[in-house]
Amino acid sequence: MKKTSTRLADGRELLYFDSRDDTVRDGVDRRPLDPVATSAEIRRDPLLGDAVAVASHRQGRTYHPPADECPLCPSRDGRLSEIPASDYDVVVFENRFPSLAGGSGRCEVVCFTSDHDASFADLDEDQAGLVLEAWTDRTAELAELPQVEQVFCFENRGAEIGVTLGHPHGQIYGYPFVTPRTELMLRSAAEHREATGRNLFDDIVERELADGSRVVLTGDHWVALVPYAAHWPYEVHLYPRRRVPDLRALDDAARTEFPQMYLELLRRFDRIFGEGEPPTPYIAAWHQAPFNDPGRDDFGLHLELFTIRRTSGKLKFLAGSESGMSVFINDVPPETAAERLRKVASE
């Protein structure tokens, strides 16, 4: 992999990740851009103790542009985009409309491919592996920033999820705090360690492998399973068999196997609801340990993949119980979801 750093016309950083070491990147952003002006701030809820990012400048962000005006496509045929090059493998750049900025963290965009009409599931294993390297690189780089406590790599796919740009891409958030969801996991892991002397993440994987009813896919270095108390109709967690706190700690064997496992899961997601159905909307989220938490070494890196579609043509809405009280009601038993995901395996 070769990494090339450059700057966009407004000063934002852009990084090319290329599979070939001899690739030369020398394109210049020729757009007349004004400096990025953000108004992001973090506010604490005194009742719940969690954080809310207030970012009014995001109201003006790009919204469902036509394909020939996509800002994530390469710059070609006289049309200038966020990526100055006429083609690329994987690109990461600072978000022009960040939810977090400056002392409040950092937001980046990850373009998985230059092909506007593709999806992550369409990538080959080498390209998917390059995306993994980009995620790992950004985790390592953002870990060095004093304002970043935790790095979150994720993808939103589908209009039903709220995606405003159709080009295959994801995002990376460098939070200036430990997120509430991660704090809950750390607390549960600490309580489990105190009660049993064992690691919670290891015990979850061991229990699911022993039971088998919720296991979707297994490899030499990864395990994909539907959690016992899944929140979403179709939800899969992908764990490395060797527990590590974050992407930086994955060994070469796990990195090599990951693209095969993850691409298969994504392709199964697109087959859940049968032939003729539109692509399945999903969120894919990497859960990594915070950098400075005392429970960091007990945390288990994993990826959570889920869809808000509960059946053909119907979505799972977060209504009164979910939105008002954070109590999820799942219409699909996890064992049924796992069985369905096993049945739609690639031939």
Kindly report the length of the chain. Answer: 347
- Read off the tokens for 212: 């088998």
Contact 106, 98 (CB under 8 A): yes
Contact 108, 172 (CB under 8 A): yes
What is the H or E stretch that residue 45 is in? none
Judge whether 169 counts as a catalytic residue: yes
Residue 36 CB neighbour total at 10 angstroms: 16
Catalytic residue among 167, 169, 221, 237: 169
Q: For residue 341, which amino acid is it?
A: L
| Catalytic positions, written as ranges | 169
